[in-house]
Amino acid sequence: MSLELRGLSRRFDNAQALRDIALQVDGGEFVALLGPSGSGKTTLLRILAGLDFPDQGEVRIDGQDMAQVPARHRRIGFVFQHYALFRHMTVFENVAFGLRVRPRASRPPEAEIAARVRRLLERMQIAELERRLPEQISGGQRQRVALARALAIEPRLLLLDEPFGALDAEVRKGLRHWLRALHVELGLTSLFVTHDQDEAMELADRVAVMQAGRIVQFDTPARILDQPANGFVAGFIGQAQRFAGRLTSQELIFEGLPLAPLPRALLLGEAAAGAGQGPAEAFVRTHEWQATPGPGNAVLRSARAAGGRVQAVFAVGPALIEAEIPPGLLEPGETCQLDPLTARVFLADTPFATG
């Protein structure tokens, strides 16, 4: 299985949902579409499934253009955010649906349908629910039924729209690992939509970060963290705080804050390596600060222990800065000198800078 998107655009009445999307997914990959709500993730997923249609561009699966292929002939499994189970059918019948609607010639005999459905339900660890109706089972169980139903057609591509969105945090964690294991074990190719960066980073082989209808970066989680493509990605991923600044030939100057300038050699990002100068935005993560007790530019406002480190909030001039410090270093109310160790910097004229 291979999936290729080229120049995909979709416009709704008053909004451009997708702009010139290009994407290539290889067989066996687990890909996340990550972005804030309204960035076009779900629209893209629906176009892949054949539930919506692009104004321009093409979708190719294994080299075949999908434009004239209706949803029911695509063999693409779709798990809806709210599951969309058939309320009047039992769990068993829900899962069997995709097999029962096949044309007579390719429909498996009843005994085989039953065997396949049971095998799937066992695989999903919900074999005991087969006679229940969707309204009689919990959210996490419905999620598994929806997944089993989509897998029953042996899809060449599995699409999941916010697969954990409607579940509580506890269930969500468990299901994540389970889904990842299932993906590997069944040799699936999957795309899932999420607005939760932890989820995307933890689960996916590659993450497509979407902003306002575009894919601004498509890369492995590690590279997205290390080398965000622009200010939007840097700000969206990895708890970074955004600062306005100015890049000179020598250093980054933080504007309006009593923070020491950072020499160019310590900066990250393409802008730091290039020769560009001018207004810039800089992103510093919570662990990229150094606090030195004594008189200085910052006052510790509050501190909260978090796994061996302390999440601290400092008042620096008019701003509040979140930083990690070692335990016992400071008490609230004490002053210190707070310095950034590094920053990801993007010149303000970079396309799609945060708005």
> Pick from 24, 86, 115, 290: which binds another protein (CB under 8 A)?
86
- Judge residue 196's burial from the number of C-beta atoms within 10 Å of its C-beta, 0-12 exposed, 13-18 middle, 19 or more buried: middle
Closest separation in Å from C-beta 49 to another protein: 5
> Pick from 4, 16, 97, 293: which binds another protein (CB under 8 A)?
97
β-partners of residue 298 are 316, 336
Chain centroid to CA 43: 15
Closest separation in Å from C-beta 72 to another protein: 5
Q: Which of 274, 218, 270 is nearest to 249 (CA)?
A: 274
Closest separation in Å from C-beta 70 to another protein: 8
Per DSSP, 268 falls in state B
Q: Please identify, using beta-carbon distances, which residue of 50 and 245 lies nearer to another protein.
A: 50
Phi, psi (5° rounding) for residue 100? -70, -30
- Rounded-to-integer distance, Cα 30 and Cα 265, Å: 36
Residues 6+ apart with CB under 8 A from 48: 3, 59, 76, 157, 159, 191
Spell out, one character per residue from 147 to 186, where the chain touches another protein: x when CB under 8 A holds, - when not.
--xx-xx---------------------------------
H or E element, residue 111: helix 110-123
Judged by CB under 8 A, does residue 340 bind another protein? no
Closest separation in Å from C-beta 75 to another protein: 8
Closest separation in Å from C-beta 46 to another protein: 8
CB 97 within 8 A of CB 89: yes
Three-state SS at 202: helix
Spell out, one character per residue from 37 to 76, where the chain touches another protein: x when CB under 8 A holds, - when not.
------------xxx------------------xxxxxxx
Sign of the C-alpha dihedral computed for residues 276, 281, 283 and 289 taken in this order: positive
Judged by CB under 8 A, does residue 104 bind another protein? no
Closest separation in Å from C-beta 119 to another protein: 17
# of chain residues touching another protein (CB under 8 A): 28
β-partners of residue 10 are 18
Burial state string for 137-168 with b = 16 or more CB within 10 A and e = fewer than 16: beebbbbbbbbbbbbbbebbbbbbbbbbbbbe
Q: Please identify, using beta-carbon distances, which residue of 156 and 242 lies nearer to another protein.
A: 156
> Pick from 78, 92, 232, 283: which binds another protein (CB under 8 A)?
78
Q: Please identify, using beta-carbon distances, which residue of 88 and 304 lies nearer to another protein.
A: 88
CB 148 within 8 A of CB 124: yes
> Pick from 13, 88, 105, 170: which binds another protein (CB under 8 A)?
88
- Rounded-to-integer distance, Cα 219 and Cα 216, Å: 10
Judged by CB under 8 A, does residue 289 bind another protein? no
Q: Please identify, using beta-carbon distances, which residue of 95 and 200 lies nearer to another protein.
A: 95
Enumerate binding residues for another protein (CB under 8 A).
49-51, 70-78, 80, 82, 84-89, 97-98, 101-102, 149-150, 152-153
